Amino acid sequence: YGQLYVLYLRHHSRTSNSTGAEVVLYHLPREGSCKKTHILKLNRTGKFALNVVDNLVVVHHQDTETSVIFDIKLRGEFDGSTTIHQFVLPPHSIQPYQIPVAGPASVTSQAPVPCKLYSSSWIVFQPDIIISASEGYLWSLQVKLEPVVNLLLDKGKLMDFLLQRKECKMVILSVCSQIILEVERSVQLRLTRTVLQHYSFKKKAFFFQVVEAGLSRSNPLLKRPVRTQAVIDQSDMYTHVLSVFTEKKEAPHKFTIAVLMEYIRSLNPYKSMEVLLSKHQVLAALRFIRGIGGHDSISARKFLDAAKQAEDDMLFYTIFRFFEQRNQRLRGNPNFTPGK
């Protein structure tokens, strides 16, 4: 995430009180001293290797031939000085790779040989390189996002995870379509209105996150620095989710209208915030967004830029302190991350 860290693999002795090995992350700022900020709990012992892929820490375990993924942007358990993280997904093995058989054309029809995964001859280089010394192959490790949708059942956590990844746009749009289909299925099963409202609330929260990622970049005066995540705007939502859904003849007419109204309603709070900021009503915009519970996900840079344009030093200091306190509460560190 644009920050420099030292990753230290710490092994615990195999005692009754042992919790297994852990990876400790030390943050190295450009100025100031090194500080321990994150601990990744592995809950196992043995031989490990580490890669960093798409801002994710991937830890390979040779004994079980599995790998686990950590995302330090997801909320963890803060103990007062460091944030403790558990792995995001259950342990899984790297996708098997078949090595083609080399030789004359007459024997190329032979079946490829499966590659030995998690071999003791593996050599790992940062950020994403794995070399098999015994077989003479070099691989670049990648993370496939499509299977994550079925592995991470908590939809809110899933969306938080996907929004930080490269090439995430189509996967997120697919999740939004899936959410709508789940709601539609609930209607077809004639569940109670309470269940429908519950699904609508969750769907609205997901739309908040997706749309805000696009709206925060819609104003040319408040552009953020280029980041690795995909940008999902309203045209994407219309093309890949809403238009496809409204064209479904089997969808109940009333339900179609309800979904469209929920989407439009989800846009309104952020449009209201944009209007207030454009009129230099920075404190009013902040109070408004806090009133609807969206202050943990809004862009600090957007508010700080608006406060700076107002040329009011006290206003800028007030907004700056608010987001410093938010950083401390959410991440245990008042410092801002790049792009924020």
For the chain, domain boundaries? 5-93, 148-278
pLDDT at 203: 44
Q: Which of 305, 262, 328 is nearest to 37 (CA)?
A: 328
pLDDT at 136: 83
3-state secondary structure of 128: coil
| Token pair in block for residue 12 | 């615990």
Q: 302 near 225, Cβ under 8 Å?
A: no
Q: pTM of this prediction?
A: 0.63
Query: How far is C-alpha 285 from the chain's CA centre?
Result: 26
pLDDT at 108: 53
Q: Within a 10 A sphere around the Cβ of 286, how many other Cβ atoms? A: 22
What number is the average pLDDT over the span 116-131?
A: 89
Q: 70 near 59, Cβ under 8 Å?
A: yes
CA 60 to CA 69: how far, in whole Å?
9
Q: 70 near 56, Cβ under 8 Å?
A: yes
Instruction: Report angle CA 184, 185, 187 to the nearest 5 degrees.
Output: 65
Residues of the chain by 3-state class (helix, strand, coil), percent to 5 = 40, 15, 40
Give the model confidence (pLDDT) of 191-235 as tens digits. Answer: 323 333 333 444 444 554 554 454 444 444 433 444 455 566 677
Query: How far is C-alpha 198 from the chain's CA centre?
Result: 23
**Terminal CA-CA length for the chain:** 11
Give the model confidence (pLDDT) of 13-59 as tens digits. Answer: 444 565 789 999 999 988 888 999 999 999 888 899 999 999 999 99
Answer whether residue 190 shows pLDDT above 50. Answer: no
CA 243 to CA 266: how far, in whole Å?
17
**Sheet containing strand 48-53, strands side by side:** 48-53, 56-61, 66-70
Going by the DSSP 8-state scheme, the letter that residue 30 receives in this structure is S
Q: Which are the contacts of 212, defined by CB distance < 8 A and separation ≥ 6?
A: 270, 294, 297, 298
CA 130 to CA 50: how far, in whole Å?
10
pLDDT at 188: 43
Q: Which of 177, 305, 304 is nearest to 232 (CA)?
A: 177
Task: Work out the burial of residue 243: count CB atoms within 10 Å of its CB; fewer than 13 is exposed, 13-18 middle, 19 or more buried.
Answer: exposed
- Minimum mean pLDDT range among 123-127, 278-282, 306-310: 278-282
pLDDT at 262: 65
Answer whether residue 267 shows pLDDT above 70. Answer: no
Q: 12 near 22, Cβ under 8 Å?
A: yes
Give the model confidence (pLDDT) of 295-320 as tens digits. Answer: 787 888 888 888 888 888 899 999 99
Query: ω into residue 220 within 30 of 0, thus cis?
Result: no
Whole-angstrom CA distances from 166 to 53, 110, 120, 266 are 10, 37, 31, 25
Give the model confidence (pLDDT) of 59-103 as tens digits. Answer: 999 999 999 999 998 888 988 889 999 999 999 999 888 777 665
| Token pair in block for residue 101 | 């058989």
